[in-house]
Amino acid sequence: MKKLLLVVALCLPFFAVHAENAQQSKMATCNKDATGKKGDERKAFMKDCLSAKPVVEEKKLTPQQEKMKSCNADAKGMKGDERKTFMSNCLKKS
C-alpha cells in the first residue's frame, strides 16, 4: 500500500505539468483566434473558446483493423477453441 501511494505521489507532478501545458496551449490558440475582438465580444469569445471540449477526430481504420472488427462482430457468442478457429479462418479470408 505504501509503495502504491509513493508511485501515485511521484506521478502527480507529471500529470499536473501535462494539464498545465494543455491549458496553456488552448489559451494560446483561443488568444490567436480572438485577434481583432475587443471588450465584451472578446470576453464572451474567450469564455466560449476556453470552455469548449476538444474535437476528437475519428481515427481511420486500416483494412486489417476493419477485417478484425468485422470478424469480431461475426464471432459474437463464440468462446474458446470455436472462436479461435473461426477468427483464424475469418482473418485469413481475403
Measure CA of the first residue to CA of the last residue in the chain; give whole Å: 51
Is residue 75 one of the residues assigned to a domain? no
Q: For the residues 50-54, what does the mean pLDDT come to?
A: 81
Is residue 58 one of the residues assigned to a domain? no
Structural domain tally of the chain? Answer: 1
Q: Which domain holds residue 40?
A: 20-48
Is residue 56 one of the residues assigned to a domain? no
Is residue 43 one of the residues assigned to a domain? yes
Cα dihedral: 73, 76, 82, 86 (round 10): -10
Res. 86: pLDDT tops 90: yes
Is residue 10 one of the residues assigned to a domain? no
Is residue 38 one of the residues assigned to a domain? yes
Q: What is the pLDDT of residue 55?
A: 61
Is residue 31 one of the residues assigned to a domain? yes
- Rounded Cα gap, residues 50 and 34, in angstroms: 11
Is residue 37 one of the residues assigned to a domain? yes
